[in-house]
A and B are shown apart, each in its own frame.
Chain A
Amino acid sequence: MKTENQKAWFFVLPVLLLVAFNALVPIMTVVNYSVQETFGNNVFFWQGLDWFEQILRSDRFHAALGRQFLFTFLILIIEVPLGIIIALSMPKKGFWVPVCLVLMALPMLIPWNVVGAMWNIFTLPKIGLLGYFMNDVLGVNYDMTQDPLAAWITIIVMDVWHWTSLVVLLAYAGLVSIPDAYYQAAKIDGASPWKVFRYIQLPKMKTVLTIAILLRFMDSFNIYTEPFVLTGGGPGNSTTLLSIDLVKIALGQFDLGPAAAMSLIYFAITLLVSWLFYTLMTKDDAQ
């Protein structure tokens, strides 16, 4: 017989305090800004939902949101299959396993702004190794500071370089947990390599892939540092993703109200899409 009492609250209290100070209080501050107008000196005027309406109707926001979805979509459809393919081709045992794992982990250990700076220098025409090689050796016109397409290709390639490893490592962890008997049974059942992938490897990787896709979605949807350091959102506004636009509004123009409203919309979208992903991918298990 369990005795019911309220003691558990005391154990939750420290976490509750911590969460209050690092999440609830900052978010409520943003909520506070999002419904008011201020001209400094701590003088505030009630604005209601005006800022939300303004953001949701603005073409600038639509364009940034569109670019953001395009970016996230592109990196997901490249990184997830690529990560699975690399994980499948990695050795399962022996000397090369730790070598591969360390090589895979290396890009992830580099700080985000360093990645941006590295790729910036690497791709600059004339100075950068890649920029020089493309323009002066191959004769291909490649300048990510001038050409929006080149800028897009560069930020996509940079993100793939930086983060495919995460998918690889998670998929690999899923793969090595499959007992040998499954592969042996599949051999005896006469299953083709595709069927082994489809009916054994993919189902066993499903949980870790769900996590990988969620993490990659959230990270790429909120990405700021790397494209900011690499292209600064340019040329023009062509690589101005949501977070870059947000910072421009909040700190560049100091429009705290619209920036706060935009943050909340941004947050809501991230939450909603993550929830959708998670629900869709775990739907089968509930049946």
Chain B
Amino acid sequence: MARISLSGLRHSYLPHPAGPQDYALKSIDLDWEDGGAYALLGPSGCGKSTLLNIISGLLVPSEGRILFDGQDVTDLPPDQRNIAQVFQFPVIYDTMTVYDNLAFPLRNRGFDETFVNERVTLIAALLDVEPMLNVRAAHLAPDNKQKISMGRGLVRDDVNVMMFDEPLTVIDPHLKWKLRSKLKELHQQLKATMIYVTHDQTEALTFADQVVVMQEGEVVQIGTPVELFERPQHTFVGHFIGSPGMNILPAAEEGGRIVFEGQTVAVEGAVTGSGGVTELGVRPEFVTLAETGLPARVRKVSDVGRHAVIETMVGDTPVKAVVDQADVEQGAEVHLAFRQDQTRLYRDGWLSTEAAR
């Protein structure tokens, strides 16, 4: 196991990148602590897989260094980095049995058969694939194939990091849940550093201790699931995480006051910085219907079981609220209240208020 540091990492798939728009990764500085469970979360095309392939050594970055425990591995090929990687689609060796598939990474490194047998038996038990050890891998169902792919990553006990590149995309939903909790369990047993790439926030938030949110080749925030939910550093994080996402409302600064649709709104703390495009961010969970406050008209009410989502219009701006009970009807005139310690100002997308004390 190792601590992984990325410093000044940039990558472009073009031979001669002209500007920032040509970079798939724009300047990444990151530390992955030894034994952590990380999720790399972001929409498709944000550079997650590029970053993963750079860590595993399948790609050489245009600029920057990768350090494993302080040792520079930027120029080492994947097999010398001691890493395991599981891909989006199952990769199995068709002509081998399940046993031989699992033993493959160990045998390639010249471990003796007693040790191979011990590890394969252990991993097969963890993944519940013992009955099929002697079956030809080509005949397996897709979810078992993906289990074998994962197993090949888990079978080595000397890896620096295990990486999962959207490994559950091809799996049925109920099995997805099972495999994900299995992975979580494995992390606790093996204490290995794991990096899990996904565009699904549920997967990221349930698997990881720390979530790294990426957008357009940049890391926008690193934090625990709670931090990401409660204090998004960027409007993108607020919008991307949560269902429905954070309300991002156009606002103006007028002599120290924050004005939204002609009304003054109180924010959590002191405003920092100046200029730029300013927006208010407040999660629908912290918007309530009140006697006084922002006048709004209810446009739609959707009951989603435990709570209801109310879509309203404040002037020309849509604002969503999540409430326990929807006792209003479509078209009703209501007032909205924002909880002050959960209302923040964003300047050019980045958080621009100090936390409430």
Among B53, B58, B88, max chain A CB count under 10 A is at B58
What residues of A have a CB within 8 angstroms of the CB of B170 in the complex?
none
CB closest chain-B residue, reference A185: B91
B87 touches A191 (CB 8 A): no
Chain A interface residue count, Cβ-Cβ cutoff 8 angstroms? 18
Q: How far is the CB of A203 from chain B (nearest CB, A)?
A: 5
What residues of B have a CB within 8 angstroms of the CB of A190 in the complex?
79, 105, 108-109
Q: Which of A157-165, A176-184, A262-270 contacts B (4 or more CB under 8 A)?
A: A176-184
What residues of A have a CB within 8 angstroms of the CB of B57 in the complex?
187
CA of A192 to CA of B89 in the docked complex: distance in angstroms? 22
A195 on interface, CB distance cutoff 8 Å:
yes
**Residue-by-residue, is A165-206 near B (CB-CB < 8 Å gives 1, otherwise 0)?**
000000000000001011011011111100100011001100
A199 touches B105 (CB 8 A): no
CB closest chain-B residue, reference A182: B91
Q: How far is the CB of B96 from chain A (nearest CB, A)?
A: 7
Contact check: which of A185, A203, A204, A284 meets B87 at CB < 8 Å? A185
Contact check: which of B56, B95, B109 meets A203 at CB < 8 Å? B95
The A contact surface, by secondary structure, is helix
A287 touches B83 (CB 8 A): no
CA of A184 to CA of B86 in the docked complex: distance in angstroms? 10
**Residue-by-residue, is B97-110 near A (CB-CB < 8 Å gives 1, otherwise 0)?**
00000001100110
CB closest chain-A residue, reference B86: A185
Among A185, A199, A200, A203, max chain B CB count under 10 A is at A185
Contact check: which of B78, B93, B94, B136 meets A188 at CB < 8 Å? B78
B interface, CB within 8 angstroms of A:
53, 56-58, 77-79, 83-85, 87-89, 91, 93-96, 104-105, 108-109, 136, 149, 152
A interface, CB within 8 angstroms of B:
179, 181-182, 184-185, 187-192, 195, 199-200, 203-204, 284, 287
**Can you sample 9 A-B contacts with CB below 8 Å?**
A185-B87, A187-B57, A188-B58, A188-B83, A190-B109, A191-B108, A199-B93, A199-B104, A203-B95
Instruction: For the A-B complex with A182-B91, A189-B105, A204-B94 known, give 20 more contacts whose Cβ atoms are closer than 8 Å.
Output: A179-B91, A181-B87, A184-B58, A184-B85, A184-B87, A185-B149, A185-B152, A187-B58, A188-B58, A188-B78, A188-B84, A188-B85, A189-B104, A189-B152, A190-B79, A190-B105, A190-B108, A190-B109, A203-B93, A203-B95
